[in-house]
Amino acid sequence: MGVSRLDVFYRRLLLTKLFIGGWGKPEDLKRIFEFRKIVGDREKCKALVSEDYPVHIDKTEEQADCHIHDGFFISPLEHLVPGILPPEAIKARFQFIVPKVWKKNRPVCIQLAGTGDHFFWRRRTLMARPMIKEAGIASLLLENPYYGYRKPKDQLRSSLKNVSDLFVMGGALILESTALLRWLEREGYWPLGMTGISMGGYMASLAVTNWPKPIPLVPCLSWSTASSVFTTGVLSKAVNWSQLEKQYAVNSVYEKEIIQLLEYCGADSFKMGPEPWRRSSSLDLDNFPEGFSMTSDQTFIAGRSPGVDGAHNRHQAADRRYHLVSALGYRGASSDLPSSSPRREKTESTRFCRPSLHVESISFMKGVMDECTHMANFSVPVDTSLIIVVQAKEDAYVPRAGVLSLQEIWPGCEVRYLSGGHISAYLFKQNVFRFSAFL
């Protein structure tokens, strides 16, 4: 199956870069990985969010067909991992859209936001109000951290500044969804379900892994892990690999310490063998950072998973970092090398072609993404028969090749495929997403 040309074309129209700040602070990544071990096990986190966690409604607006309640609460993540959220994101905001007249029971669907879905207008217009009209289902729209009112002042539009921001967003939404589900139960709403499109579908999936009861889930245009999105999907072209590679080369903590904390070791883990891009018989020069050039005395060195065997020699590691830093045009790199390193003899102006830096950075990206986003690293939902996954056959944003399928991770779930790609499905298949949520 090929990929959608519309997906590829649409991606080329977007000029902003992702992760311009880099990987995130090493100490933040360490705290996030430790917290993932807790939220990844449903039994360990049953008491993280209390049954009576405070949720507030501060505004109500009456419409012709519904009432729209605006509410807020403090993200439980701020209590559990203090300071990990940006100040703007600590207060979680939501919009609760309920029908004036209930048809049967009082069903509510929590909808999480996809990439670029700031505030509530898009979900309210395309999903929530039609769901009231068509099925009498209320919607609770939670605003993602780093979006809308919760967007940091130094963040450009929807482009997360650091890789770690995505993991913080996921951890926050797991706990915030739990707080809202508990609140809805207290208020007598039933049945409850969750959905989302693209990143929203992925985050909804994470949240359901943590809920201790059977609950319907309809993740649309999402899959089992975010690693393929940022390493092989069209969004990988938007990643600021140059900045990530510089940080990986200069700060040895990523290679020496962070990588040792990665526990995910499924069949599609970067630890389990050569990745597809390493098995390739040809190198994709378009993916190398700007500034690389080939000269007659330079050779390509095949990449390897850094730190997998844990047997890196100190001098070799330092020598490699010099190679990587030099390739990116850094000055003063030789000062970190042992005196015995032959690379010290190279002049600082010499630029080395180190394609393996890009490969190692991709491998590291896959490792950290799988650690914090792979569904196999979280508990299996209580009742997988209540899950309907809606996928686009030619999705270029969410590649399914090379990663475990949701059917393998969640036996019993149903997967439905739409023709076309990610963008066309989002633009023209909203009715299918709504219909799937009704069932």
What confidence tens digit (pLDDT) does each residue in 326-353 have?
A: 333 333 333 334 444 444 434 333 333 4
pLDDT value at residue 29: 97
pLDDT value at residue 204: 97
Of residues 356 and 296, which shows the higher confidence score?
356
What confidence tens digit (pLDDT) does each residue in 165-217 have?
A: 999 999 999 999 999 999 999 999 999 999 999 999 999 999 999 999 999 99
Query: How far is the C-alpha of 20 from the C-alpha of 348, rounded, in Å?
Result: 26
Element (H, E) at 116: none
What confidence tens digit (pLDDT) does each residue in 429-438 have?
A: 888 877 665 5
Element (H, E) at 73: strand 66-74
Dihedral angle of Cα 388, 390, 396, 400, to the nearest 10 degrees = 30
pLDDT value at residue 432: 84
Q: Is 209 in contact with 375 (CB distance < 8 Å)?
A: yes
Mean per-residue pLDDT, 67-95: 97
Weakest mean pLDDT among 97-101, 135-139, 343-347: 343-347
Classify domain 5-268+370-436 at the CATH topology level.
Answer: Rossmann fold (3.40.50)
Weakest mean pLDDT among 27-41, 103-117, 237-251: 103-117
pLDDT value at residue 115: 81
Q: SS3 sequence, the chain?
A: CCCCHHHHHHHHHCCCCECCCECCCHHHHHHHHHHHHHHCCHHHHCCCCCCCCCCEEEEEEECCCEEEEEEEEECHHHHHCCCCCCHHHCEEEEEEEEECCCCCCECEEEEECCCCCCCCHHHHHHHHHHHHHHHCCEEEEECCCCCHHHCCCCCCCCCCCEHHHHHHHHHHHHHHHHHHHHHHHHCCCECEEEEEECHHHHHHHHHHHHCCCCCCEEEECCCCCCHHHHHCCHHHHHECHHHHHHHHHHCCHHHHCHHHHCCCCCCCCHHHCCCHHHHCCCCCHHHCCCCCCCCCCCCCCCCCCCCCCCCCCHHHHHHHHHHHHHHCCCCCHHHHCCCCCHHHHCCCCCCCCCHHHHHHHHHHHHHHHHHHHCHHHCCCCCCHHHEEEEEECCCCCCCCCCCCCHHHHCCCCEEEEECCCHHHHHHHCHHHHHHHHHC
pLDDT value at residue 7: 85
Tokens of 64: 């012709």
What's the mean pLDDT when you consider all of the chain?
82
pLDDT value at residue 201: 95
pLDDT value at residue 273: 57
Tokens of 282: 């040809």
From the list 322, 274, 320, 329, the residue with the least C-alpha distance to 301 is 320
pLDDT value at residue 36: 96
Contacts of 62 (CB under 8 A, 6+ apart): 68
> What band does 269 get if pLDDT is binned at 50, 70 and 90?
confident
pLDDT value at residue 438: 54
pLDDT value at residue 291: 37
